[in-house]
Amino acid sequence: MTPISKLVIATGNAKKLKEFERLLAPLGIEVIPQSAFNVPEAPEPHCTFLENALAKARNAARHTGLPSLADDSGICVHALGGNPGVNSAYYAGQHKSDADNNAKLISDLQGVSDRSAHYTAVLALVLNEIDPEPIIAEGRWYGEVIDVPRGNGGFGYDPYFLDVELGMTGAEMLLDQKGARSHRGKALAKLLVEMQQRYGVDDASSS
């Protein structure tokens, strides 16, 4: 099969887009944000990361006619029954900010001793809107939620998410370090292996 030469990233999140651009940089693929085609945001009514990711990828492919990659991701706090989960981006309300979402999370965990949590990312890549064999890849990043934010990098819940093994929050890590540890980085690594096997897409940095 002809290698993918262009790939639409189905997200309206500018910070997430930059992370994808950086993680996909080693590939010989032109990465294009869906905003370049004025693609409308896809509804995300589903209760699983997988279904939402597929919905977003198919939506972008339908409007652009190009292979599209989407992710659905969030933080799952064990003491909160897995919440915020798929609602991570809107935990404090549809039009709230990262600061509002984090404030609600810390408030909900007040007095709770179990702070264990994990980030989940599910990536879905489709060649076209009706691709019957999308590539699906999942990654998880385990840690715990802290009360006081640390670091100036990252986005979302990163300042409050502590990688216990490293003793650093997602907002304290260097970009390459975070890419190797994060849920999205792990999922993308799996995705690239499958892309290479199916489509002949390879890591340009190794050539």
Q: Is 1 a domain residue? A: no
Domain residues for the domain of 70 are 6-206
| pLDDT score for 206 | 45
Instruction: Provide mean pLDDT across the span 7-20.
Output: 86
Residue 163 catalytic? no
Q: Is 20 a domain residue? A: yes
Catalytic residue (one of 71, 72, 158, 163):
72
Instruction: Provide mean pLDDT across the span 10-14.
Output: 85
- Dist. CA 21–CA 17, nearest whole Å: 6
| pLDDT score for 203 | 57
- Dist. CA 6–CA 157, nearest whole Å: 31
- How many distinct structural domains can be found in the chain? 1
- Dist. CA 14–CA 152, nearest whole Å: 17
Tens-place pLDDT, residues 114-159:
999 999 999 999 999 999 999 999 999 999 999 999 999 989 999 9
Q: Is 190 a domain residue? A: yes
Q: Is 167 a domain residue? A: yes
Q: Is 136 a domain residue? A: yes
Torsion sign, CA atoms 186, 189, 193, 194: positive
Least confident range from 16-20, 90-94, 165-169: namely 16-20
| pLDDT score for 204 | 47
CATH number at residue 23: 3.90.950.10
Q: Is 28 a domain residue? A: yes
- Dist. CA 71–CA 59, nearest whole Å: 12
The H or E element containing residue 142 is strand 135-145
Q: Report residue 201's pLDDT band, with 50, 70 and 90 as the boundaries.
A: low
Tens-place pLDDT, residues 176-191:
899 899 999 999 999 9
Q: Is 151 a domain residue? A: yes
- β-strands 68-77, 6-9: how paired? parallel
Q: Is 97 a domain residue? A: yes
pTM over the 0.85 mark: yes
Instruction: Provide mean pLDDT across the span 22-46.
Output: 86
